[in-house]
Amino acid sequence: MVRVAGLKDQVQAGFNKPENKAGLTPKQQLNAIAKLNHTLVDKQYEGFNALQQALADEEISILEMDDLTIEERDTLEEYFDEQIFPILTPMAIDAYHPFPMLLNKSINLAVVLEDTYEVEFKSRKNAIVQVPALLDRYIQIGDTNRYILLEDIISHFLYKFFKGYRVHSVTEFRITRNADMTIHEEGARDLLKEIEKELRKRKWGAAVRLEVRKGKYDDTIIRFLLNVLEIHKDDLYIVDGPLDLTFLFRFYKDAQVDHENLIYQTLIPQRPQDIDSKESIFEAAEKRDIFLHHPYESFGPVVDLITEAAIDPEVMAIKQTLYRVSGHSPIIKGLKQAAENGKQVTVLVELKARFDEEQNVHWAKELEKAGCHVIYGMNFLKTHSKITLIVRKRKEKIERFVHLGTGNYNDSTADLYTDMGLVTTKRKFGIDATNFFNYLSGFTEKPDFNHLSMAPFDIRADFIRYVNEEINFHQLRGNGHIIAKMNSLTDKEIIRKFYEASQAGVKIDLIVRGICCLKPGIEGVSENIRVRSIVGRFLEHSRIYYFHSDGDEKIFLSSADLMTRNMAKRVELMFPIYEAPVKKRVIEVLLITLQDNIKAREQASDGTYHYVEAEPGEALIDSQMTLYDMAYDVLEDEE
């Protein structure tokens, strides 16, 4: 929706220079994307239809109107007349009624009508009815586990809107609009106002994709929509099921009431093992570095850092970066309370966080109203780093508490994403954090650091230096080993360096959940590289970089994936783990992840993936469930 639109703009402007990674022109990229995306959408609906069949076996059904009894249809007609009909607006299309500006991703019904009064020649007219997003997407049939979609109800009773006409056909369709935002950062006096202006435009961007429901469309209408919306036929998707499957997020909650056996067992994040049950987060951090592993361990201590600091009379200042936060964020609440209590609160709210711009604009305003000093981001860069600095004065002595993480300060996603964090009071980490925030808030060149690496300045260079060191150690000792866990791997320089290390004999294990532009297992190039992906109950989100370093193991956590955009176009942080107990735990996580033979898939040299199968007699390991059980067992042993 974003990058496809940008490629379309390039094609329209006549730009045909090949892109530097794949060597494809914008037009060639669009063709490749369309081909793959059609395959993926088909697979998505194969999955949905398999799910429907499995639900039907459990007597949970999403039905069509023809599946209902006469009595049930009569009940729905009454519901339609009272609850739906007054809200709908039929929109005719003719010389006096231009084609309406339809909302992005809204579901619409295109109706072809025939004049019932004309006998010899049936003239046809077109109209559109938009399915209201504010109404429930599906309706329960009585007290059963049978449901019907809102658009199917509306479609069945559309004739009520068009007296004197017969409904010839109804086409269910949805359009996706260009969601790209053009922000003129250089000339912007107020970035927040500039983004607010662009957000208003985004709702009405050019259409870039048309979806219609299989078996519920008219070929004439499809041709009409492609023409009026100026959509290429490659961007037409005929899907074998309901449009917009996001209704399933709520549907599963309703369906689970009588079917708990079909839902994941609730897993409660455990108290972090580095924090005693009688300690506050501050008391624990004064004694030791605190390692946090979400969602196996609770995100609560991260929230406590802010909420306790807000009311602690000895806390003088709080500084924090925010990229994505929840809709009812306790972090935001704590920061506002701290400012209202007279503490100096500085918050960088990244207004350019993709698809969170509107919410972040809202939070920026709320924080400013409370008295926080709010920074909107950096010029031409997205601030993606996750860091908090709390300054406390005790007995005339300044203490600095630093939290660094791989994931967002988002209490909602913290229950779903695997991430790691570190709370430390080490003096040089505090100095680094201070220098980092001074860089964000003031006018300064690249800050000096004792321990941190920062993009866009030196994460790539430092990472390559560590790989070079591993190559040298391997040539001397023959024990080179690199493990790198991330969301995506696309950076050409780092990929080339991995190939070089492989050719030198270094063993490389890559755990890459998403995009991986490196191809493993190619003789003479990458035969010492193994690529695995874990897609399980939780979304793998932590970035961990391990170097054997001749036994003096080096471990780094980071907010950054090994992607060009993270290396060059974002403000990111990479930080080392020094304490032996924490190192041991991180290494344990990596090794367990590499042992997964239930959710893991391995990439072949041609780029395809296959599930990792257990060897005969080998124990079955789901790495995520193993890590949760370990977190639970640790607390059980303590108690």
Task: Give the DSSP H or E segment for 403.
Answer: strand 397-405
User: 189 falls in which pLDDT band (50, 70, 90)?
Assistant: low
* 232 and 344 fall within a common domain: no
The answer to whether 218 and 226 are in contact (CB under 8 A) is no
Q: Looking at residue 199, what is its pLDDT? A: 74
Question: Which pairs from 17-21 meet CB under 8 Å and 24+ separation?
Answer: 20/492, 21/490, 21/492, 21/517
Q: Looking at residue 60, what is its pLDDT? A: 92
Average pLDDT over residues 94-123: 84
Name residue, tokens 């479609």.
Answer: 155
CA 286, CA 230: separation in Å to the nearest integer?
Answer: 62
Q: What is the pLDDT of residues 542-551, one digit of tens each?
A: 999 999 999 9
User: Is the confidence at residue 192, as pLDDT, over 90?
Assistant: no
Q: What is the pLDDT of residues 273-284, one digit of tens each?
A: 999 988 899 999
Q: Looking at residue 444, what is its pLDDT? A: 78
Q: Looking at residue 187, what is its pLDDT? A: 52
CA 28, CA 603: separation in Å to the nearest integer?
Answer: 25
Closest CA to 386 of 579, 558, 567, 564: 558
Distances (CA, A) of 439 to 190, 194, 436, 610: 19, 23, 5, 45
* Chosen domain end from 425, 450, 475: 450
Q: Looking at residue 118, what is its pLDDT? A: 62
User: DSSP string of 316-375?
Assistant: EEEEEEES---TT-HHHHHHHHHHHTT-EEEEEE-TTSTT-HHHHHHHHHHHHHHT-EEE
Name residue, tokens 């994941």.
Answer: 264
CA 148, CA 80: separation in Å to the nearest integer?
Answer: 12
Residue 25 in domain: no
Residue 493 in domain: yes
Q: What is the pLDDT of residues 407-466, one digit of tens each?
A: 999 999 999 999 999 999 999 999 999 999 999 998 778 899 999 999 999 999 999 999
Q: Looking at residue 184, what is its pLDDT? A: 61
Residues in the chain: 639
The answer to whether 29 and 19 are in contact (CB under 8 A) is yes
Residue 587 in domain: yes
Residue 270 in domain: no
Reduced to 3 states, what is the DSSP secondary structure of residue 630?
A: helix
* Chosen domain end from 450, 481, 510: 450
CA 535, CA 487: separation in Å to the nearest integer?
Answer: 11
Residues 6 or more apart in contact with residue 352 via CB below 8 angstroms: 183, 195, 377, 382
Q: What is the pLDDT of residues 66-100, one digit of tens each?
A: 999 999 999 999 999 999 999 999 999 988 889 99
CA 558, CA 555: separation in Å to the nearest integer?
Answer: 10
Question: Which pairs from 628-634 meet CB under 8 Å and 24+ separation?
Answer: 628/267, 628/296, 630/296, 631/269, 631/270, 631/273, 631/293, 631/296, 631/297, 632/270, 634/270, 634/273
In terms of average pLDDT, the best of 91-95, 117-121, 137-141 is 137-141
User: Is the confidence at residue 1, as pLDDT, over 60?
Assistant: no
Q: What is the pLDDT of residues 475-499, one digit of tens each?
A: 999 999 999 999 999 999 999 999 9
* 463 and 442 fall within a common domain: no
Structural domain of 118: 36-262
Closest CA to 594 of 620, 627, 623, 618: 623
Residue 18 in domain: no
Q: What is the pLDDT of residues 343-363, one digit of tens each?
A: 999 999 999 888 788 899 999
Q: Looking at residue 122, what is its pLDDT? A: 66
DSSP collapsed to 3 states, 135-173: CCCEEECCCCCEEEEHHHHHHHCHHHHCCCEEEEEEEEE
Average pLDDT over residues 61-70: 94
Number of domains in the chain: 3
CA 491, CA 183: separation in Å to the nearest integer?
Answer: 25
Average pLDDT over residues 609-635: 93
377 sits in the region (left: phi over 0; alpha: psi -120 to 50; else beta) called left
Residue 45 in domain: yes
Q: Looking at residue 186, what is its pLDDT? A: 56
Neighbours of 167 (CB within 10 A): 18
User: Is the confidence at residue 235, as pLDDT, over 80?
Assistant: yes
CA 307, CA 555: separation in Å to the nearest integer?
Answer: 30
Q: What are phi and psi of 167, to 5 degrees?
A: -75, 110
Residues 6 or more apart in contact with residue 259 via CB below 8 angstroms: 58, 60, 145
* 221 and 301 fall within a common domain: no
* 481 and 570 fall within a common domain: yes
* 506 and 530 fall within a common domain: yes
The answer to whether 80 and 72 are in contact (CB under 8 A) is no
Closest CA to 288 of 557, 578, 559: 578
The answer to whether 602 and 593 are in contact (CB under 8 A) is no
> Quick one: DSSP state of residue 435?
H
User: 524 falls in which pLDDT band (50, 70, 90)?
Assistant: very high
CA 627, CA 612: separation in Å to the nearest integer?
Answer: 19
Extract the tokens encoding 10: 């390039």
Q: Looking at residue 357, what is its pLDDT? A: 87
The answer to whether 67 and 153 are in contact (CB under 8 A) is no
> Quick one: DSSP state of residue 80?
I
Q: What is the pLDDT of residues 553-607, one digit of tens each?
A: 999 999 999 999 999 999 999 999 999 999 999 999 999 999 999 999 999 999 9
Q: Looking at residue 183, what is its pLDDT? A: 66
The answer to whether 511 and 542 are in contact (CB under 8 A) is no
Q: What is the pLDDT of residues 361-403, one digit of tens each?
A: 999 999 999 999 999 988 889 999 999 999 999 888 999 999 9
* Chosen domain end from 262, 295, 310: 262
Quote the mean pLDDT of the chain. Answer: 93
The answer to whether 281 and 301 are in contact (CB under 8 A) is yes
* 565 and 438 fall within a common domain: no
Q: Looking at residue 263, what is its pLDDT? A: 85
Q: Looking at residue 182, what is its pLDDT? A: 66
CA 497, CA 490: separation in Å to the nearest integer?
Answer: 12
Residue 296 in domain: yes
Q: Looking at residue 396, what is its pLDDT? A: 86
Q: Looking at residue 356, what is its pLDDT? A: 80
Closest CA to 203 of 87, 325, 10, 355: 355
Pairing of β 207-213 and β 165-177? antiparallel
User: Is the confidence at residue 2, as pLDDT, over 80?
Assistant: no
> Any idea what the CATH number is for the domain that residue 554 is in?
3.30.870.10
* 338 and 355 fall within a common domain: yes
Residue 6 in domain: no
Beta-bridged to residue 600, according to DSSP, are 534
Q: Looking at residue 248, what is its pLDDT? A: 94
Residues 6 or more apart in contact with residue 263 via CB below 8 angstroms: 252, 256
User: 164 falls in which pLDDT band (50, 70, 90)?
Assistant: confident
* 253 and 321 fall within a common domain: no
Q: Which of 122-126, 162-166, 454-458, 628-632 bottoms out in mean pLDDT, i.e. has the lowest?
A: 122-126
Q: Looking at residue 161, what is its pLDDT? A: 95
CA 433, CA 449: separation in Å to the nearest integer?
Answer: 9
User: Is the confidence at residue 639, as pLDDT, over 60?
Assistant: no
Active site residues: 384
Q: Looking at residue 378, what is its pLDDT? A: 87
* 429 and 443 fall within a common domain: yes
> Within 13 Å and on the Cβ side, how many CA atoms surround 213?
19
Q: What share of the chain is helix, strand, coil (3-state, %, to 5)?
A: 40, 25, 35
* 431 and 466 fall within a common domain: no
Distances (CA, A) of 64 to 61, 127, 366, 555, 597: 10, 23, 46, 56, 40
Closest CA to 557 of 459, 475, 415: 459
* 446 and 508 fall within a common domain: no
* 432 and 554 fall within a common domain: no
Distances (CA, A) of 431 to 311, 348, 438: 24, 18, 11
Decide which of 22 and 282 is more confident: 282
> Any idea what the CATH number is for the domain that residue 203 is in?
3.30.1840.10
